[in-house]
Chain A
């Protein structure tokens, strides 16, 4: 990927004014999408909720998938900050709550239509991200941990003890207006439309993140990670890139927060709990810190496994802690890279002609 930008030997420099550097096909996977694969997945995802309305208990599965969409967006965004850009920010959940409470206050306490107020959520989250990011992103590691945790605590304090129209008396806003999908085909199909909305948000966010990871910005972060001094001396400004990524991820995190508030009809202060943050972090760590597919995989595992293990709720957090410890010691890069490698070493003979996976 990196040499894709540099001219190869014996080639003319592609450097006339205004000419963008051309990337090799392998470096721009979005240019030649596999329409067949996308089509199959898209059709399956479109049919799925209708099929689930026919099955007993399918409604609940739909709910789980919508939950997966919400936390999948947040986990991917947090992974951009933590894993890809290496900023140890613990403020992602707070940004999610900024989104949820912005649209909650606007639609419930002020009375704006939820379809309008939901767009205030990402804007407020980006504004909050810029306010935190400007002083902190120039600093390193431990300072960022402290200041983002402080931001989380302050926001929690401020919202739980704030005036009635924000705090709802300490537990959050309990009657955030929903998006009104029950009027379309009747209440029994309401979830299907939430599913579609969540699917669109998840799809757009995932595609945007994928593009960013495969863009010069993603390249810059890979360069910064591999050799920071060299990257800086070649003109990569870490602060600018980190600030961009921080704001970018805040946008989708805030949007997910807003959607979640309207879907659940609830902007809850209990989402500030440390356990929720741990849950999110385990999603990233389990799947693969700094990889593209890792957080999606981790979110899927955790969302559905948590439901299966609901009977053992007391032990769940303990199990999460143990899982995190095992991953940190045994496979710090996460499950997705490990499984991919295992898959290729098992079935590598079959795919001899293929190129090795570019991880």
Chain B
């Protein structure tokens, strides 16, 4: 039975990882697709979500679902500020790529050090939405884990529907296909950018809140999830939403299978080596658009 136990363990944590990576990576890929910039503040938004929930819960004592909604809204608000104050002014300037890189990195430093000043550097954890769990063999499957997976899948589906069916989603997809043509067709570019940023910040915040009740977090804890989200984004093909969702689960499962079968310290190196190999063979990702030149 031990073989089966390990399999269940690997599958469960793989799907859990994949769900969170999906939430993180979808925002990254949307921003990449429309704004053509790498948002290095994404990890800070993730951790901002977790800390806002922690602060609201400790300070106001509101019920957990309200707290989580406030935290997601707070992360979205931080994203809105970043977009309005830092990104919008540099959109039309020359040397935009490096300026955007610096601006988003600066945003991430500001958010992280503000959190550090308010909450201190100790590790924190959020209480779960639902307590308890059940056992499959020796693997403990918590209800909280299932909530995370369920919420992530629902959000990813909603995102896909939003992008496919709504007018705004159509506009965002048009911008990511060809910004100049979209501009000529009368799509208001800058408001669309703001919407993209807010959505992606909210999703990152949601990921932070959901995972904050499973893992411990510190002010700089957004870095590794962001790195993994970047891996997922690249693996799925930059700017491709469908590819990103597939990639999130593939990478999540790969990480947990490596951790269970080879050893926990091999999970990250294994994924990065795989990444390098894939970039050499398929430089545009799993379902990447066949474009010759990307930033």
Residues of chain A whose beta carbon lies under 8 Å from any beta carbon of chain B? 82-83, 86, 88, 135-136, 139-143, 145-147, 149-150, 153-154, 157, 161, 274, 278, 281, 285, 289, 314-315, 317-318, 320-322, 324-325, 327-329, 332-333
Q: Chain B interface secondary structure, helix, strand, loop or mixed?
A: helix
Contact A142 B294 (CB under 8 A): yes
Given the interface pairs A135-B280, A329-B90, the reply to whether A321 lies near B38 with Cβ below 8 Å is no
Determine the distance from Cα of A358 to Cα of B265 in the docked complex, in whole angstroms.
52
Indicate which residue in A161, A314, A325 contacts B107 across the interface (CB closer than 8 Å): A325
**Does B3 sit at the interface, judged by CB under 8 A?**
no
Please name 14 further chain A to chain B contacts, defined as beta carbons within 8 Å, in addition to the given A135-B276, A142-B234, A332-B102, sorted by A numbering.
Answer: A88-B98, A139-B283, A142-B230, A142-B238, A146-B234, A146-B275, A147-B276, A150-B231, A153-B268, A281-B105, A317-B116, A325-B107, A328-B100, A332-B98
Nearest B residue to A325, CB-CB: B106
Q: Chain A interface secondary structure, helix, strand, loop or mixed?
A: helix
Nearest B residue to A82, CB-CB: B98
Chain B proximity of A10: nearest CB distance (Å): 35
Determine the distance from Cα of A142 to Cα of B279 in the docked complex, in whole angstroms.
12
Determine the distance from Cα of A332 to Cα of B224 in the docked complex, in whole angstroms.
28
Indicate which residue in A274, A315, A317 contacts B223 across the interface (CB closer than 8 Å): A274
- Residue-wise, chain B 197-223 has the 8 Å CB interface mask toward A (1 for contact) of 000000000000000000000001001
Contact A150 B105 (CB under 8 A): no
Chain A proximity of B255: nearest CB distance (Å): 14
Contact B102 A324 (CB under 8 A): yes
Determine the distance from Cα of A328 to Cα of B91 in the docked complex, in whole angstroms.
11
**Does B110 sit at the interface, judged by CB under 8 A?**
yes
Given the interface pairs A135-B279, A324-B105, the reply to whether A332 lies near B295 with Cβ below 8 Å is no
Which residues of chain A are near B109, meaning CB under 8 Å?
278, 317-318, 320-321, 324
Nearest A residue to B40, CB-CB: A145
Which residues of chain B are near A321, meaning CB under 8 Å?
106-110, 113
Determine the distance from Cα of A328 to Cα of B116 in the docked complex, in whole angstroms.
23
Contact A327 B102 (CB under 8 A): yes
Which residues of chain B are near A149, meaning CB under 8 Å?
227, 230
Nearest A residue to B224, CB-CB: A153
7 intermolecular pairs with C-beta atoms under 8 Å apart: A142-B32, A142-B38, A147-B272, A318-B117, A325-B107, A328-B106, A329-B85
Chain B proximity of A250: nearest CB distance (Å): 19
Shortest 8 CB-CB contacts between residues of A and residues of B: A321-B109, A141-B295, A324-B106, A325-B106, A321-B110, A328-B103, A318-B113, A328-B102
Which residues of chain B are near A145, meaning CB under 8 Å?
38, 101, 230
Determine the distance from Cα of A141 to Cα of B40 in the docked complex, in whole angstroms.
13
Chain B proximity of A313: nearest CB distance (Å): 11
Given the interface pairs A141-B97, A146-B230, A274-B223, the reply to whether A328 lies near B90 with Cβ below 8 Å is yes
Which residues of chain B are near A147, meaning CB under 8 Å?
272, 275-276, 279
